[in-house]
Structure 1
Amino acid sequence: MTNMKKENLIVLVGPTAVGKTDMSIELAQSFNGEIISGDSMQVYRGMDIGTAKVSKEEQRGIPHHLIDIKEPTEPFSVQEFQQRATKLIEEIGSRKKRPFLVGGTGLYVSSVIYDYQFSEVEEDNTYRQELEVFAKKYGNVALHEQLNEVDPKSYEQIHPNNVRRVIRALEIYHITGEPFGERGQQPPISPYNVSLIGLTMEREKLYERIDLRVDIMMEQGLLNEAERLYEAGVRNCQSVQAIGYKELYEYLDGKVTLEEAVTTLKQNSRRYAKRQLTWFRNKMDITWFDVTQEKDKMLQEIHQFVEGKLL
């Protein structure tokens, strides 16, 4: 019995604001590639500035997939992402192009690389409603702390404000007696021949870059973008739990000043970058490249790494 040749998959990950977009386009041009976005929020239409969505001009003719495929009121799950991305990898390969999976949402990227098996767990609507009432009465953080008691892994990976996912993780534990963070753990064997590239930089420099990017987003009209969603009645949706929107919603609700909202946005972005790096280092076998080194040298090193994997 002959072994099926594995499809090549080039994966580029890294924390927010590290420079994944530019690097992915340069590499895709070099390796005849098409890019699949591995970002859980770039799927939403009308959420361009806050998600740092690549513009048509920036794409430089490189096809990009899984961008602008959902309305902000629609849900989007890791399972749906995995199904769509897996199909796209096959389609891109059939065109004799190289698929690139690029993004910062660790769970989404891992689900494709390691072919996570998501077992279906039934729902317990009564228990779910109890948790929703608890969250309204005592707050998101108190609900999140409940998760820490039964499922520390999910507690680390799910933000307190993502109440929907916190409740689902608690519900799965309630039904199965097994922590969601322990379910479907796959050995790190991939169905693909993966070139796994990570972009990084010294932490303080990254944080400075994040703060600057928030300032630029505000200048570009992030507040107007959030106002459009707010006025369209997009509330209590997965999309506006994204960093950049939830903080400005607090301002639009009159709970904080704009200056306070922007300060919180910067702080949450830095914390998110830290969580991303923790995920990538704990969950993936990544070869890291420091983006602060001389660019041509870094590109040469990445080319050598990818070519070695492809051969």
Structure 2
Amino acid sequence: MDSKQKLLAIIGPTAVGKTMLSIEMAKRYNGEIISGDSMQIYRGMDIGTAKIKIDEMEGIPHHLIDIKEPYENFSVAEFQLLVRAKIDEIAKKGKLPIIVGGTGLYIQSVIYDYHFSDVPGDEAYRLVLEERVNEIGNEALYQELMEVDPESASQIHPNNVRRVIRALEIFHLTGKTMQEFQSSQQADLLYNTAIVGLTMEREKLYERINHRVDVMIAQGLLEEVEGLYQQGLRDSQSIQAIGYKEIFAYFDGKVTIEEAITNLKQNSRRYAKRQLTWFRNKMDVNWFDMTDLENIAKKIKEISHCVEGKLGVKSNTY
């Protein structure tokens, strides 16, 4: 058996059932859950990020939720450091670390031997790009990134100028896209990792996404976003999240509330499609189709068999 620390990763698109499965796996294998979502770290952004509620945790400890204020920036490098420390902390208690989420780059950065210190920098070029932003605007610089590195651009909001500049800087220095540069470093898994991916027939998944947005609205998403809007957080990294930028446009008077909700549903569906593409292309995943939720017990049994085979763990509750 692999001598590396055991780690279970549960990945997949939004609304596919990751939270439910993670609780079940944590109960079965004496686990603790680490959020692999780049937006659930923010306090006060609960409804729009589909953050798990205390009463839904069933007593399972959850980590890396509510650790930042919405005005603070958060990088994948910081996430990597925090999660690896949590994995060690959980393992020392004799428990199984379980990382759960849909932010592919973040999860990938943890489980592979990827060193952010190896990514080159060019301060002079960065300053040139910052000046270009002042001259031509965020959107035009973003289009430049789209031309040389569309994959990275698809995961960066045009207003997240810092990340747009970083991606262009890496391409300028290495001739490689951000993903090409990263993949050249990450051949080795740091952990004895079982990667469980959840998928679903597209029509069913999109139906669940649309329903989830309706539930979010009913739960008070507008009020949640309005509170952030009144704090003047427009340019914060957190507000680039799906579920927030669309409602901000409503409060700006650019769209009606109906249009904002339609845009939110559409952007969520597109994001789910990008998530699936990312995971299929970037990671060695054991996929499980969750379309037939009525047979969930059978599906959980299949997933458990996979986890036990990969990690050599035994169920302690069944």
- Same-fold status (TM-score > 0.5): yes
Q: Distance in 2 between matches of 1:157 and 1:256?
A: 24
Question: Does the CA-based 8 Å contact 2:47-2:224 persist in structure 1?
Answer: yes
Question: Which one-letter code corresponds to 1:258 in the other structure?
Answer: I
Question: Which one-letter code corresponds to 2:215 in the other structure?
Answer: I
In structure 2, the residue matched to 1:22 is: 20
Q: Structure 1, unaligned stretches of length 5 or more?
A: none
Instruction: Note the C-alpha offset of 1:172.
Output: 3.1
In structure 1, the residue matched to 2:299 is: 298
Moved more, 151-160 or 11-20: 151-160
Question: Does the CA-based 8 Å contact 1:38-1:108 persist in structure 2?
Answer: yes
In structure 2, the residue matched to 1:81 is: 79
Q: Distance in 2 between matches of 1:68 and 1:38?
A: 13
Question: Does the CA-based 8 Å contact 1:106-1:280 persist in structure 2?
Answer: yes
In structure 2, the residue matched to 1:199 is: 198
Task: Specify which of 62, 68, 81 is matched with residue 60 of structure 2.
Answer: 62
Instruction: Note the C-alpha offset of 1:177.
Output: 4.6
SS at match of 2:192: strand
Q: Deviations over 1:225-267 (max 9, x none)?
A: 0000011121201000000000011111111111111111111
Instruction: Note the C-alpha offset of 1:130.
Output: 2.5
SS at match of 1:289: strand
Instruction: Note the C-alpha offset of 1:41.
Output: 0.2
In structure 1, the residue matched to 2:311 is: 310
Instruction: Note the C-alpha offset of 1:176.
Output: 4.9
Q: Identity percentage over the alignment?
A: 61
Gap change, CA 1:248 and 1:182, over 3 Å in 2 = same
Question: Does the CA-based 8 Å contact 2:42-2:65 persist in structure 1?
Answer: yes
Does 2:247 align with 1:248?
yes
Question: Does the CA-based 8 Å contact 2:113-2:187 persist in structure 1?
Answer: no
Q: Distance in 1 between matches of 2:4 and 2:130?
A: 45
Taking structure 2 as the reference length, what is the TM-score of the superposition? 0.91
SS at match of 1:46: coil
Task: Specify which of 3, 6, 20 is matched with residue 5 of structure 1.
Answer: 3
Does 2:287 align with 1:288?
yes
Question: Does the CA-based 8 Å contact 1:169-1:180 persist in structure 2?
Answer: yes
Instruction: Note the C-alpha offset of 1:287.
Output: 0.7
Instruction: Note the C-alpha offset of 1:5.
Output: 1.5
SS at match of 2:182: coil
Gap change, CA 1:239 and 1:282, over 3 Å in 2 = same
Instruction: Note the C-alpha offset of 1:134.
Output: 4.7
SS at match of 1:183: helix
Give the paired residue count. 306
Question: Does the CA-based 8 Å contact 1:34-1:98 persist in structure 2?
Answer: yes
Question: Does the CA-based 8 Å contact 1:123-1:171 persist in structure 2?
Answer: no
Q: Distance in 2 between matches of 1:131 and 1:18?
A: 41
Taking structure 1 as the reference length, what is the TM-score of the superposition? 0.93
